[in-house]
Structure 1
Amino acid sequence: MEPYKYCDNRSHHEDSPSTKVEPTDCPKPVIIGLYGLPGSGKTARLAELKAELSNDEFAFYDGSAVIAAVTPGGLKALQNLTEEVKNNYRERAIAKIKQECYNTGKTAIVAGHFMFWPEDDENGWSVCTPGDLDTYTHILYLDVPAELIAKYRLNDNKRSRPNVSAPHLAKWQAFEKNELRHLCRHHDILFTLLSPPLASVSKVGFLIRDFRTHSEAYNKNAAERKMLEILAAGSGNVETVIVLDADKTLAQEDSGVLFWEHIRALSGAAEDSGPLKALFSSPLGYSYIAFRQATLLYEEVAENAEFEAYCQAVALKIRMHRDIVNLLHLVRGTRHVRAVVVTCGIRSVWEKVLEKEGLSSTVKVIGGGRLDDGLVVTPSVKAELANYLRIARNLYVFAFGDSPLDLEMLKAADQAVVVTGEEKTRSKSMEKKLAEEIGKNGFHPRQTVLPAFATPRMDTTRLPLVRLTDQNFLASVFARYKNLYVLHATDRPAAKLLMTPMRDASISGSALRKVHARAGFYLATELCTQIIGVEAYPVPHVQGHQADGYRLLHEEATLIVPLMRGGEPMAFGVNDAFPLAMFHHAKVPCDLQHEHLEDTATIILVDSVVNTGKSILQFVQHIRSLNATICIVVVAGVIHSQTISTSRIARALGRFDGLSFVALRLSDNQFTGRGTTDTGNRLFNSVHMA
């Protein structure tokens, strides 16, 4: 049978209703379609729901009755009209329901028909209009066995129904279910079958109440509340949170794929890719609605006890990566670090996997799979939770993920680790996505290869390797926050003299570069030496004997790094004070590699102005990923005071040992120069190019 096509037959003559009723400042009302074949019990179920649900929150409609009410002469007159005019009145009926819901704030439950299909006809015809598909937010389908429907129709004393065979009803029903699933996924409508796991009135009532309250904003708040509960549950002052994806991150396996393989094996169905692939390949993509739809698929297939048994069977097939297991066991011995799994997959499966590894008391899971979970985890929820921890809770966040679904979470974290699995099983699209994002807005992730014999992604310069067992990495994860060590000359007479020409708008170009160099020399000799120390070495005295001279401690093992381009002139002044030091330009953190730090005792990062501190943090994180013990001194002309005291950046920087700051002046004025006020433009006479 050829699939029918619904048509937008709304004409614009004077009898055609207007269906544009949406107030622009109001959310779309929740309108639930109750569908099923004629004789499947829609009217009876509507009456049951009316008794189950509150009339203050819900409105109940028989779709045919509403069509009759808006059609002059009622349903009898409707039968004599053309299909175009019939559709006009169907559109008017659904528009009336929609408008009433806008006016009352109630959720509508509408019993209606999707199509009619007499047994003698080769094809059926749809009575579903574009207005229906634009209005419904959810559709429940009464999935009653065809044999029972045939029996109900035969014994229906209230209305005369044509005799239809059970095989035809089964064909009709299968077609409706397939078409509705398809249409719903193209129109952002949640669809579910009311088959045995969801058939009871109480279960349907729970489902409808959930539909009324659950929204994307509600979902985000629910996820944040869950995270807050996890943070509050333990003892100690939390400073660091490790956020991990689950599927193909904690282990090579995917819980969703294994779940549906298990269902298929139990049912003996033919091998296929499972319903999740079709769902996420639909126009819904990986949206909030798509993940809510996935939850409904799980609800359709099993009741709670049966679902938990399936999850247990799946959990037994999953083997976590040992490096991750060992890392998470170390979390158990701390009070300032928490580990949370945030998964788009099945919460129950991963809780059981963690329990198997003895981690259930240490690591909590935020995920979905059932309506009782109260939320679904989408890629945006993952990112929002990372931002919530980092910004709202002022915590330091490590994020682990493997796929594009984790990318926004990885970008939102303070430190991102991409888990690279075996080439045959890992995400094929992740490499391209990473290539597009690395370097943007300071995003510089690392990768860990699990299992160890897997090949790395990309090149290890852009996506450096890290072993989760490496002591430098573990030190960075379990570091404690401390106040930053800062030396500044703000109130010293020498600093006042040096800073005056730096602030003079009439000085630029070569003259300003010389001023910055003088300031760099002063900061190096007066303040850097207090932090790093000096050492004696023999010099020939003018009287002809050897005397003690002094230079920077381990000066020949010192690396001066100007942060380009504004830091270069001041860095030259630092180099004048420490002439034995190596000099290496860097624009981005990855400009520094292992060979630059080899046999190096101290690295001096030089910038003209440290405003937010974001660039400095990125450099420090990168250096610490290469070397855990090297002394780092940041030298700047001006540092915004909050950057090294109360800001989130300050808390992040405070996790690193061996880090100090030197400034000519601390400022309470956070000002980002643009054009003629940009320090780099003034230093190099490029204000005309801004």
Structure 2
Amino acid sequence: MATAPTISVGDGNSSRDMHPSIATAGPKPTVIGLYGISGSGKSFLLKHLQQELSPTEFALFEGSDKIASLIPGGLEAFHKLDEKCKSDLRGQAIEAIRKESCDTGRVAIVTGHFMFWGQEDATGQPVYTSNDLATFTHVIYLNIPIDIISQRRLNDGLKDRTAMSQEHLRRWQEAEVSKMRGVCREHHILFSVVSNPEALFPRVLDMILHFRQPITAKSNLARVRAKLDGILALPDRDNLETVLVMDGDKTLATEDTGALFWEMIAQTRPSLAAKSPLQELFGGPLGYSDTAFHQATLLYEEATDNEQFETACDTVASSVVMHPEIISLLRIVAEQRHVGALVVTCGLGRVWEKVLQRYGLSKTVGVIGGGRISDGFVVTAAVKAAIVSQLRNDTRRYVWAFGDSPLDLPMLKGADQAIVVVGDKRTRSSSMDEALYKAIHVENFRARQVLLPSQSPPRLNEEKLPLVRLDDEKFVESIVCHRRPVKILHATDKAAAKLLTSPTRDASVAGPALRDAHARYDMPHVQGHRITGHRLRGEQQTTIAMLMRGGEPMAFGVNEVFPKARFIYAASAGDIKRHHVDGQCTILLVDSVVNSGKTLMQFIEHVRGLHANIRIVVMAGVVQAEVVVETHPLAKLMGRHGACLVALRLSENKFTGTKGTDTGNRLFNTTYLI
């Protein structure tokens, strides 16, 4: 922004140096800086942009002209000031531009200097200010070839330019790019480098038009949702009941396609060989923030034009080998009209489109991923979770999520079924074990793991993260099975049910008599004796979970009819352990009364987390009718997990017993304790 040396690199980073209105301002207006060493063509480019951009939407400024307008005598007077006064004027200039942009709603485009470096000086002198760092939202750096810059400086008859060698100009430019990249990341300023002089104007124009509308997390997600809606609207996808949502890199294959991309680029650019630009970006001050993912897109734009990007993606895709187990599963899914699959990647969506095309899966597996400005969005961990949420809650699909890293955890947590893909210990995420442990122990996260390749050592242990094989018939069946509507069996209006439930509704009946009413019903046989009914299929593989304490008498009655079933007490969902359901086909959750359904929801979620395929049956004496309506959270949850409900009676009466009328107190004669 400035025109002469003032401050060192560390001087401008404190908010206390900022203009008060900047330090306390709300959302930034969009202010784009055009930077480059002297002779890069910033002023020439600005004049062309003025002819192309609408003055109602954009305000364009020469930084030096704005400074000159603030002091009588212009730039000549400015150069005579001491360094403190110069710095103050620079701050006032960028603040005036920011305010004008904010007041008018126009995007500001400003030419500026980051540093000056004389031929005889050992180092360059930064000339940016803290106000610059607080104001700019984007910086476009003109990284023009040095021979062109040198020739321009020699031919420039309008400005007094000191003679500089090409070697010195190169050092100046390299220092600026390196330092500006770091400073911009520290201050969440998106930094773009444009190097091709032949495509300079259209490239910069495209970027400015892209930058003019600030991309918030909300607007980014809206574009992702539109992409998802478009995929779901494709032919043969209108009847989907189940969707597999899969991460790409190190999930579908061992390879990290982003790393492969930059390794390929480094073959022609030795400066990139030492460290991947993505590792440097995500390991820096931006972390895995939304800004970091937008910056990653700009790195891809910086490295390749559209044609080069396509060629690079072709090369990378040709070297990716998908796991055979994943291929087989996706091909089985492709044969099911009611099951779909979706790759959602934080990396290069175009690469995964090409990989799936190689394996003949591109017509049945959708891809949501970024990598280019033209994609219109980036995929973050939060975006992955939002996609799963939209599929589950908005479109009411049953979702299986597959992922390998902490970035996938929000998506895995939000899915109906979570599968952690575990790869080679040398290359898999080193932070995933700790993240999984915390999620399991603190957040009660339930997931399973698949080893790809199969010789990979598992994460944590099988108790915390059970193993599963993608080629296991039962596992595959649990994915491709139809998701039926919630089965609700009740006998509300049947005479037998009225007779059975009459004692349970009689306030004078309590204690043993009430427990017996919940427990047993003898049937008269035609030959004159009494019987208790038929045997249950898979009785020995059935677990009866009595929801304490109201469910105990009814659970005892069920256990008498099914004596070979396991019987457990459960005061809370956590009381049901993995060994209670291992090897079992069915679990019966027995309670006397279901009111809001909140407790049952906790039990159903917990059981499904322990065992993906076990049949869940809820048994109760009385169930509030509203909880079985398909829009109720309990009904939705039961539908997702394939649970069914058996009740003697559905009640329209929303009365919830308390104290003396509470069923639990009546069952055990504890009304005196209230």
Provide TM-score, normalisation by structure 1: 0.85
Aligned to 1:345, what secondary structure does the other structure show?
strand
Residue pair 2:22, 2:134 contacting (<8 A) in 1 also: no
Match of 1:418 among 417, 420, 432: 420
* Alpha-carbon distance between aligned partners in 2 of 1:214 and 1:225, rounded to the nearest angstrom: 18
Amino acid in structure 2 at the alignment position of 1:76? E
Instruction: Kindly provide the CA deviation profile for residues 89-146 of structure 1, in whole angstroms up to 9, marking residues without a partner as x.
Output: 2111111111111111111111011112222222332221111111111000110122
Aligned to 2:543, what secondary structure does the other structure show?
strand
Q: Which moved more, 1:323-332 or 1:564-573?
A: 564-573
Aligned to 1:221: 222
Aligned to 1:646: 630
* Alpha-carbon distance between aligned partners in 2 of 1:9 and 1:619, rounded to the nearest angstrom: 49
Match of 2:605 among 618, 629, 636: 618
* Alpha-carbon distance between aligned partners in 2 of 1:477 and 1:83, rounded to the nearest angstrom: 70
Match of 2:645 among 657, 661, 668: 661
Aligned to 1:348, what secondary structure does the other structure show?
helix
Residue pair 1:498, 1:515 contacting (<8 A) in 2 also: no
Residue pair 2:581, 2:611 contacting (<8 A) in 1 also: no
* Alpha-carbon distance between aligned partners in 2 of 1:125 and 1:480, rounded to the nearest angstrom: 68
Distance 1:156 1:684, change over 3 A: farther
Instruction: Kindly provide the CA deviation profile for residues 250-309 of structure 1, in whole angstroms up to 9, marking residues without a partner as x.
Output: 001100011111111244557323110000011111111111111111111111111111
Aligned to 1:125: 125
Residue pair 2:115, 2:126 contacting (<8 A) in 1 also: yes
Matched, 1:5 2:13: no
Residue pair 1:617, 1:649 contacting (<8 A) in 2 also: no
Match of 1:402 among 401, 404, 407: 404
Match of 1:317 among 303, 316, 319: 319
Residue pair 2:512, 2:667 contacting (<8 A) in 1 also: no
Distance 1:209 1:571, change over 3 A: same
Aligned to 1:486, what secondary structure does the other structure show?
strand
Amino acid in structure 2 at the alignment position of 1:661? L
Per the TM alignment, residue 421 of structure 1 is displaced from its structure 2 partner at its CA by 1.0
Amino acid in structure 1 at the alignment position of 2:333? V
Aligned to 1:584: 568
Query: Size of the alignment, in residue pairs?
Result: 653
Per the TM alignment, residue 393 of structure 1 is displaced from its structure 2 partner at its CA by 1.6
Amino acid in structure 1 at the alignment position of 2:409? L
Residue pair 1:517, 1:571 contacting (<8 A) in 2 also: no
Aligned to 1:361: 363
Per the TM alignment, residue 465 of structure 1 is displaced from its structure 2 partner at its CA by 1.4
Residue pair 2:503, 2:514 contacting (<8 A) in 1 also: no
Aligned to 1:495: 501
Instruction: Kindly provide the CA deviation profile for residues 166-216 of structure 1, in whole angstroms up to 9, marking residues without a partner as x.
Output: 222111111111111001111111001111189431221111111112512
Per the TM alignment, residue 620 of structure 1 is displaced from its structure 2 partner at its CA by 5.3
Per the TM alignment, residue 614 of structure 1 is displaced from its structure 2 partner at its CA by 2.6
* Alpha-carbon distance between aligned partners in 2 of 1:427 and 1:377, rounded to the nearest angstrom: 19
* Alpha-carbon distance between aligned partners in 1 of 2:456 and 2:366, rounded to the nearest angstrom: 28
Matched, 1:147 2:147: yes
Per the TM alignment, residue 340 of structure 1 is displaced from its structure 2 partner at its CA by 0.8
Residue pair 1:421, 1:454 contacting (<8 A) in 2 also: yes
Aligned to 1:59: 59
Note the 1:76-91 alignment, pairs <5 A: 76-91=76-91
Residue pair 2:417, 2:447 contacting (<8 A) in 1 also: yes
Distance 1:651 1:500, change over 3 A: same
Amino acid in structure 2 at the alignment position of 1:606? V
Distance 1:11 1:405, change over 3 A: closer
Residue pair 1:386, 1:397 contacting (<8 A) in 2 also: yes
Residue pair 1:29, 1:105 contacting (<8 A) in 2 also: yes
* Alpha-carbon distance between aligned partners in 1 of 2:124 and 2:74, rounded to the nearest angstrom: 23
* Alpha-carbon distance between aligned partners in 2 of 1:171 and 1:281, rounded to the nearest angstrom: 26
* Alpha-carbon distance between aligned partners in 1 of 2:460 and 2:16, rounded to the nearest angstrom: 56
Aligned to 1:207: 207
Residue pair 1:6, 1:128 contacting (<8 A) in 2 also: no
Instruction: Kindly provide the CA deviation profile for residues 554-611 of structure 1, in whole angstroms up to 9, marking residues without a partner as x.
Output: 466643112456645653454466555431234447944467554x665322235361
Aligned to 1:70, what secondary structure does the other structure show?
coil
* Alpha-carbon distance between aligned partners in 1 of 2:342 and 2:242, rounded to the nearest angstrom: 11
Match of 2:535 among 546, 553, 565: 553
Residue pair 1:198, 1:300 contacting (<8 A) in 2 also: no
Identity across aligned pairs (percent)? 44
Residue pair 1:279, 1:290 contacting (<8 A) in 2 also: yes
Aligned to 1:370: 372
Q: Which moved more, 1:569-578 or 1:445-454?
A: 569-578
Per the TM alignment, residue 225 of structure 1 is displaced from its structure 2 partner at its CA by 0.3
* Alpha-carbon distance between aligned partners in 1 of 2:97 and 2:513, rounded to the nearest angstrom: 74
Distance 1:439 1:393, change over 3 A: farther
**Cα RMSD (Å):** 3.6
Amino acid in structure 1 at the alignment position of 2:519? F
Residue pair 1:181, 1:191 contacting (<8 A) in 2 also: yes
* Alpha-carbon distance between aligned partners in 2 of 1:63 and 1:677, rounded to the nearest angstrom: 79
* Alpha-carbon distance between aligned partners in 2 of 1:412 and 1:678, rounded to the nearest angstrom: 35
Aligned to 2:588: 604
Per the TM alignment, residue 470 of structure 1 is displaced from its structure 2 partner at its CA by 1.9
* Alpha-carbon distance between aligned partners in 2 of 1:565 and 1:356, rounded to the nearest angstrom: 58
Amino acid in structure 1 at the alignment position of 2:535? L
Amino acid in structure 2 at the alignment position of 1:331? V
Per the TM alignment, residue 673 of structure 1 is displaced from its structure 2 partner at its CA by 11
Matched, 1:71 2:57: no
Residue pair 1:91, 1:131 contacting (<8 A) in 2 also: yes
Residue pair 1:256, 1:346 contacting (<8 A) in 2 also: yes
Matched, 1:336 2:341: no
* Alpha-carbon distance between aligned partners in 2 of 1:179 and 1:408, rounded to the nearest angstrom: 34
Amino acid in structure 1 at the alignment position of 2:10? K
Amino acid in structure 2 at the alignment position of 1:424? R
* Alpha-carbon distance between aligned partners in 1 of 2:370 and 2:59, rounded to the nearest angstrom: 29
Residue pair 1:561, 1:585 contacting (<8 A) in 2 also: yes
Note the 1:260-659 alignment, pairs <5 A: 260-268=262-270, 271-438=273-440, 443-488=445-490, 490=492, 492=498, 494-495=500-501, 497-499=503-505, 501=507, 517-518=515-516, 520-521=518-519, 525=521, 549-551=531-533, 553-554=535-536, 558-563=542-547, 567-568=551-552, 570-572=554-556, 574-575=558-559, 581-586=565-570, 587-588=572-573, 591-593=576-578, 598=583, 602-607=586-591, 608-609=593-594, 611-612=597-598, 613-619=600-606, 621-622=608-609, 625=612, 627=614, 632-647=616-631, 650-651=635-636, 653-654=638-639, 659=643
* Alpha-carbon distance between aligned partners in 1 of 2:289 and 2:542, rounded to the nearest angstrom: 51
Note the 1:151-170 alignment, pairs <5 A: 151-170=151-170
* Alpha-carbon distance between aligned partners in 1 of 2:351 and 2:81, rounded to the nearest angstrom: 56
Residue pair 2:447, 2:609 contacting (<8 A) in 1 also: no
Aligned to 2:4: none
Distance 1:564 1:443, change over 3 A: farther
What residue ranges of structure 2 are gaps of 5+ in the alignment?
1-6
Amino acid in structure 1 at the alignment position of 2:380? T
Instruction: Kindly provide the CA deviation profile for residues 652-685 of structure 1, in whole angstroms up to 9, marking residues without a partner as x.
Output: 534666x531235435688999999999899999
Aligned to 2:255: 253
Distance 1:686 1:229, change over 3 A: farther
Aligned to 2:246: 244
What residue ranges of structure 1 are gaps of 5+ in the alignment?
542-546
Per the TM alignment, residue 432 of structure 1 is displaced from its structure 2 partner at its CA by 0.7
* Alpha-carbon distance between aligned partners in 2 of 1:399 and 1:95, rounded to the nearest angstrom: 48
Note the 1:101-116 alignment, pairs <5 A: 101-116=101-116
* Alpha-carbon distance between aligned partners in 1 of 2:658 and 2:377, rounded to the nearest angstrom: 44
Aligned to 2:307, what secondary structure does the other structure show?
helix
Instruction: Kindly provide the CA deviation profile for residues 442-490 of structure 1, in whole angstroms up to 9, marking residues without a partner as x.
Output: 5311111111111211111111112112222222212223233323355
Distance 1:145 1:666, change over 3 A: same
Distance 1:634 1:198, change over 3 A: farther
Matched, 1:100 2:87: no
Distance 1:158 1:602, change over 3 A: closer
Residue pair 1:21, 1:99 contacting (<8 A) in 2 also: no
Distance 1:602 1:267, change over 3 A: closer
